[in-house]
Amino acid sequence: MSKIPTKETIKRKTIEDMKALKVHKPQYNRLITIYAELMHQYLLLNKQFEDEGYQYESSSAAGSAKKSPIVATLEGLRKDILAYSDRLCLNPKSAIDSKGNGNDKTSGLAKILSGLD
């Protein structure tokens, strides 16, 4: 049985990871706090889902099968975590995008228009 890390542990580890990636700024700490809360909720609910035998469907009032509320919540949390991890440059795709990949595909017109400010 694995222990679920606390929100503070997740936050500290996230800051460590961001510093290792050279993308951390103290101004991001509020977003990191929200990210840590989302991760903590996800881990708790995922453990509950596992403990309940991965019950994916439940019965509706009409007797038909519907997606279990815990599954819907986990899906929503996954999407939110992905969005925050993108903003915090914690996944490979966002890390590449934040550093650029050397291929500047900005058109000449876009460059001229951006200079009109």
The rounded distance, in Å, linking the Cα atoms of 91 and 94 is 6
Q: Where are the domains of the chain?
A: 7-114
- What per-residue string of b and e applies to 12-29 under the rule 16 or more CB within 10 Å gives b? eebbeebeeeebbeeebe
Select the more confidently predicted residue: 78 or 97.
78
pLDDT exceeds 60 at position 63: yes
pLDDT of residue 55 exceeding 80: yes
**56 pLDDT tier (thresholds 50, 70, 90):** confident
